[in-house]
Amino acid sequence: MSLNALASAEQVRPPTMSRIVDALVEGGLVTREAEPGDRRSVRITATAKGVKLIEAGRDRRVQALEKRLAALSESERRMLGWAAERLERLFR
């Protein structure tokens, strides 16, 4: 992603995102490269270490959600499924 796209996605200003990316580069989590064809723009790419960290966080969140859903009754899970279908239809 570009720095501006990241800033927009995270709802921060580009200078703030630039400082965040600098820290991520220093930590070996992303690389920052000049955009081919436009040397003023940069492309931010997750490194293998960064991808591993992202996936580990996602796995923890999924496991936590699974644990909470398992504590619900069958009727409560059906109700959540019904609500999720309606929300998906609403936002399509």
Instruction: Kindly report whether the global pTM for this prediction surpasses the value 0.75.
Output: no
Q: Which residue in the block uniquely carries the two structure tokens 């570009």?
A: 2
Average pLDDT of the chain is 93
E strand map for 36-86:
38-46
Q: Quick one: which of 23, 33, 29 has its CA closest to 1? A: 33
How does pLDDT run across 52-90, given as a tens digit for each residue? 999 999 999 999 999 999 999 999 999 999 999 999 999
Give residue limits of the domains in the chain: 3-46, 50-91
